[in-house]
Structure 1
Amino acid sequence: MSTFERYLTLWVAVCIVVGVAAGHAAPGLFQAIGSVEVAKVNLPVAALIWLMIVPMLLKIDFTALAQVGRHWRGIGVTLFVNWAVKPFSMAALAWLFVGHLFRPYLPADQIDSYVAGLIILAAAPCTAMVFVWSNLTRGEPAFTLSQVALNDAIMIVAFAPIVGLMLGLSSISVPWATLAISVALYIVVPVIAAQAIRSALFASGGQAALDKLLGTLQPVSLVALLATLVLLFGFQGEQIIAQPTVIAMLAVPILIQVYANAGLAYLLNRLTGEEHCVAGPSALIGASNFFELAVAAAISLFGFRSGAALATVVGVLIEVPVMLSVVWIVNRSRGWYERGGAGAVARRDRHA
């Protein structure tokens, strides 16, 4: 993890301050930016989000799908947590905390939007930062790559139906046309573009050419993320100043969801007999979110000024410190993990 990535939470906090201040100082500028859109897609933000997403998707090698059977227990656990547990658990937590417990303290006209943002945040598993978390837990690289590639393939067809289902169950109107455009614009097209660029790079210069391009684009990707956050908070500034505890309240269901899903994936891997080098990244993939996609989808579906956009940004704010704490737990508990029946099964399978 680079120094810049390690302090991502700090940079996000700076963007909050800069965005709120700029929004008050130059409201006309932000209104002008917000008006540049086609089919409800804001073009400046679309460009920034492409700069965020495409470099991350360049790291994904879909040929790794051929390896999914090597660690079938870990793959099965992670798929179960990512697609059968996480969206539903987040919807339940959002309904409990935002819809009920915190309702008296939140802007009444944004309640449904906050819930929608939290659902969108949980609907897609993380793509890029997972490689960092996996490396920090000494995770199995082949498992991490194949799991991420499989999740991305599933996301192409499952993201819109899951978001639509969860929003519908929460009695939130689903703008299906805009949702379909978001999936095409922020998942399908970037995946195709990234794979085309990847193939061209390997044909001309191999892995070295890809690494060189990623070295150039990674800082651009992070700067694009931070620029998007400045714009978001420029539009959200008045609401945040009026309700400074909103971010803290939105963070509560996200924190519970991350730790609960990470713990569930970790324990299920132990019970099924998977090795620790697979259980670690499995827990981290099960817990983390593709927040770049979530921010893009929330803006497209509900707009810059929506509570949904703000809720997804809270996910960005707490991503690094929370995931580093999960890494610490996974590493510190390795001895406990390997003393269990799982360690014995894994060792037996390895030597079979």
Structure 2
Amino acid sequence: MSVADRYLPVWILIAMAVGLLLGRTVPGLGTALSALEIGGVSLPILIGLLVMMYPPLAKVRFDKTAEVAADRRLMVLSLTLNWLVGPALMFALAWIFLPDEPELRTGLIIVGLARCIAMVLVWTELSCADREVTAVLVAVNALFQVLMFGVLGWFYLQVLPGWLGLATTAAEFSFTAIVTSVLVFLGVPLLAGLVSRWIGERRRGREWYESRFLPAISPLAMIGLLYTIVLLFCLQGEQITAQPLTVARVALPLLIYFVGMFALALLASRAAGLGYARSTSVAFTAAGNNFELAIAVSIGTFGANSAPALAGTIGPLVEIPVLVGLVYVALWLGPRLFPGDPTLPAPRRPQAR
């Protein structure tokens, strides 16, 4: 990790503080930012996410993705974790920790249904995971999101609670919002990465592309991440400070979920015989969530000022610092769980004086 990457938690804490300060001290800033949207997608956040996702996707060697997709063991494990285990675990945690808060519980369940297609690219890049595996898993999650989000929402909000004798929630999710989220938040940076590699290698060769161009654009990922964090905390700073108990009640099951899914996925991948790089990709893909979609669906279904929308908003505020911490956990655990694995990141040598 570079010096800037090693101090990422410090930069994130500063970005959070700056966002909260701006949201609390600049009148009307949050309202003005919220008004900047296209088709229900926040334009300021969209810009940050696209800038953040472009460098990792530009680094992907797309000629290797067919080989990754052919690994049946990897694909079955990831699909099981993302679309069976993840939603079920979030459903259980929502009912355990929020039995008396049906709207917050609904928002939490929606977060569990929205599988990660954005920030996981940054976490896997920082932890030296397999970027080709991450790209394939993100694409598969995007496809399943379009096909299964509405079905799983109906199952976890109406069918399963009815079977268990629990309260049900009626909700109709916008298919357009789901497709828009996938096309915008994944399609645009994925296409940009593909075109960059194709043009760069065609005109200047792979060596120039990977030794000159990629290092030049790499800082954009961190800039986009920090910019997005500032925006999120600026937009939600007032709600966070005004309802600390609500934030804490939603944050606790989210914390358990992120850490639990990461640990389960990492250990399951190791048991399946995957190496460090692929196991870490599976773990972060399983642990992360598509907060952009969760927030958009909650707002579109229940309203911008609703409790489900608030729960969806709390999601990334918890997810970002927790998954940054898990990057360091992965780097520390790697040599212990995968001794001698050739995909482990090389140890950092001390610089000569």
TM-score, normalised on structure 2? 0.76
- Contact 1:91 1:166 (8 Å CA) reproduced: no
- Contact 2:131 2:281 (8 Å CA) reproduced: no
* Cross-structure match for 2:191: 192
Secondary structure of 1:284's aligned partner: helix
Shift of 1:330: 4.1
Structure 1: runs of 5 or more not aligned: 136-143, 339-352
* Cross-structure match for 1:52: 52
Partner Cα separation in structure 2 for residue 214 and residue 287 of structure 1: 25
Q: 2:136 aligns with which of 138, 144, 150?
A: 150
Superimposed CA distance per residue, residues 154-199 of structure 1 (whole angstroms, 9 cap, x where no aligned partner):
1331123343334332344422222221111112232222211221
Shift of 1:266: 4.6
- 1:314 equivalent in alignment to 2:335: no
- Contact 1:257 1:287 (8 Å CA) reproduced: no
- 1:227 equivalent in alignment to 2:227: yes
Letter of the 1:206 counterpart: G
Partner Cα separation in structure 1 for residue 322 and residue 267 of structure 2: 24
* Cross-structure match for 1:288: 284
* Cross-structure match for 1:14: 14
Secondary structure of 2:293's aligned partner: helix
Superimposed CA distance per residue, residues 212-244 of structure 1 (whole angstroms, 9 cap, x where no aligned partner):
333233322322222222222122122211333
**Aligned pairs, number:** 319
Superimposed CA distance per residue, residues 81-100 of structure 1 (whole angstroms, 9 cap, x where no aligned partner):
34443343334333433x32
* Cross-structure match for 1:237: 237
Letter of the 2:39 counterpart: A
- Contact 1:125 1:290 (8 Å CA) reproduced: no
Shift of 1:32: 1.5
Partner Cα separation in structure 1 for residue 332 and residue 260 of structure 2: 15
Shift of 1:146: 4.4
Partner Cα separation in structure 2 for residue 48 and residue 251 of structure 1: 24
Partner Cα separation in structure 1 for residue 244 and residue 292 of structure 2: 24
- Contact 1:120 1:294 (8 Å CA) reproduced: yes
CA 1:112–1:270 in structure 2 vs 1: closer, same or farther (change >3 Å)? closer
* Cross-structure match for 1:39: 39
- Contact 2:91 2:112 (8 Å CA) reproduced: yes
Q: 1:1-352 to 2 correspondence within 5 Å?
A: 1-68=1-68, 72-97=72-97, 99-100=98-99, 110-120=104-114, 126-134=120-128, 144-168=130-154, 169-170=156-157, 171=169, 172-207=171-206, 208-244=208-244, 246=246, 248-269=248-269, 271-272=271-272, 274=273, 278-289=274-285, 294-302=290-298, 306-307=309-310, 308-334=312-338
Percent of counterpart pairs with the same letter? 25
- Contact 1:94 1:115 (8 Å CA) reproduced: yes
Superimposed CA distance per residue, residues 29-64 of structure 1 (whole angstroms, 9 cap, x where no aligned partner):
221221122221222222222111222221222321
Partner Cα separation in structure 1 for residue 246 and residue 137 of structure 2: 31
Shift of 1:202: 1.1
Q: Is the deviation greater in 192-201 or in 122-131? A: 122-131
Letter of the 1:199 counterpart: W
Structure 2: runs of 5 or more not aligned: 158-168, 342-353
Query: When you count helix as a share of all residues, which structure comes out higher?
Result: 1
Partner Cα separation in structure 2 for residue 248 and residue 212 of structure 1: 45
Partner Cα separation in structure 2 for residue 75 and residue 176 of structure 1: 25
Partner Cα separation in structure 1 for residue 36 and residue 174 of structure 2: 20
Superimposed CA distance per residue, residues 117-176 of structure 1 (whole angstroms, 9 cap, x where no aligned partner):
3442557793343244246xxxxxxxx344224313313311233433343323444222
Partner Cα separation in structure 1 for residue 279 and residue 223 of structure 2: 28
CA 1:85–1:218 in structure 2 vs 1: closer, same or farther (change >3 Å)? same
Secondary structure of 2:31's aligned partner: helix
Partner Cα separation in structure 1 for residue 69 and residue 32 of structure 2: 51
Secondary structure of 2:173's aligned partner: coil
TM-score, normalised on structure 1? 0.76
Letter of the 1:224 counterpart: G
Partner Cα separation in structure 2 for residue 90 and residue 116 of structure 1: 9
CA 1:192–1:3 in structure 2 vs 1: closer, same or farther (change >3 Å)? same
